[in-house]
Amino acid sequence: MEKTLTPTMEDYLEVISNLKKIKQVVRVKNIAQELKIKMPSVSETLKFLSKERLVRHERYGKIELTKKGNELAEEVKSRHRTLFKFLNEVLEIDPETANEDACKMEHSISAITLKRLMEFLESVKSSS
Amino acid sequence: MEKTLTPTMEDYLEVISNLKKIKQVVRVKNIAQELKIKMPSVSETLKFLSKERLVRHERYGKIELTKKGNELAEEVKSRHRTLFKFLNEVLEIDPETANEDACKMEHSISAITLKRLMEFLESVKSSS
DNA sequence: TATAAATGTTAGGTTAACCTAACAAATGGG
DNA sequence: CCCATTTGTTAGGTTAACCTAACATTTATA
């Protein structure tokens, strides 16, 4: 029943979640800066995410994730963290590149691969 | 100076290269089947790839990669093979899923990460 | 508190990557 | 060698994700 989101939509949820943690109030401008796109693009996409009940947002107001939106954001962020950890700690990629790669790969990795990657990280940790 | 291709364009080059190896002559229909899209979409994209001098294709004729197109195809396939190997041999993902994941991640992995992944695979091999 | 600056939205346009319907060319069996 | 089948192209349409320009609202400061 889970309608799957596009990579772009996943990025929005992730960014909103991250901004919320450091800024208490999230605004269109913050999201635009973070995603390096223009405000009208953000306005437009927020309409879609509101329609899907993933964010709450009234004209000129602050932006918040719904319960559902937050759950999805946490999922994406978990994928991101796992990938980042692998890239940075195992492959010893510098944090900036590891972050960029994680940002892109987090949208295409399958559930099984993610699970195995987490298990792999566990096993590496315990043998160090 | 390398204008970077979209994931879609990379997929075309990869598929054309793979088909060439098993079918001697590559046609619009084969590519469409492989990518699970319709023939008109393929026709259209081949125009673009011809314009970019990555494939050779005349109306109703067979499809071939140019030198340049072949080089790019080989690069993509190398990324694919490395990812597949890691997923399948290290994480022990089943071949089908490993292939699907590799197909998607091959477009976003950075050069550095790819290099480290290859080195990692080498080190794992020698310690088994 | 009026108004300038900052922020947000609307309207309308572009591009990539798909589609269907209709037409055109090539091929192969009777 | 003709014509049916298969293959390919053209025309025109859709959607997602961006954009700029113009306008609207909010906020902050003189």
**Can you give the pLDDT at residue A127?**
75
The tokens describing A59, both together, are 């004209």
Quick: pLDDT tens for B14-33: 999 999 999 989 999 999 99
Determine, for residues B113 and A92 on separate chains, whether the beta-carbon distance falls below 8 Å. no
CB atoms within 10 A of CB B128: 6
**Can you give the pLDDT at residue B58?**
92
**Can you give the pLDDT at residue A126?**
74
pLDDT at A2 over 70: no
Give B113's contacts in chain A (Cβ within 8 Å): 87, 91, 93, 97-98, 101
For CA atoms A87, A90, A91, A94, give the dihedral sign.
positive
Angle at which helix B28-35 crosses helix B39-51, to 10 degrees, equals 110
Q: How confident is the model at residue A83 (pLDDT cuts 50, 70, 90)?
A: very high
For chain B, how far is it from start to end, CA to CA, in angstroms? 42
Cα-to-chain-centroid distance, residue A40: 21
**Can you give the pLDDT at residue B128?**
64
Burial label for B14, CB within 10 Å (0-12, 13-18, 19+), is buried
A53 sits in the region (left: phi over 0; alpha: psi -120 to 50; else beta) called left
To the nearest 10°, report the CA torsion of B109, B113, B116, B120.
Answer: -50
> Which residues of A fall below an 8 Å CB-CB distance to B?
87, 90-93, 97-98, 100-101, 104-105, 108-110, 112-113, 116-117, 120
Residue with tokens 């790669």: A101
Q: How confident is the model at residue A65 (pLDDT cuts 50, 70, 90)?
A: very high
Apex B104 CA angle, B107 and B20, nearest 5: 80
**Can you give the pLDDT at residue B126?**
74
**Can you give the pLDDT at residue A124?**
82
Quick: pLDDT tens for B31-76: 999 999 999 999 999 999 999 999 999 999 999 999 999 999 999 9
**Can you give the pLDDT at residue B127?**
74
- Model pTM score: 0.93
Q: What percent of chain B has pLDDT over 90?
A: 91
* CB-closest option in B91, B104, B109 to A120: B91
Determine, for residues A93 and B108 on separate chains, whether the beta-carbon distance falls below 8 Å. no
Looking at CA atoms only, how far is residue A13 from chain B in angstroms? 20
Report the residue of chain A nearest B88, measured CA to CA: A113
Chain B interface disruption, residue of A110, A114, A120, most B CBs within 10 A: A110
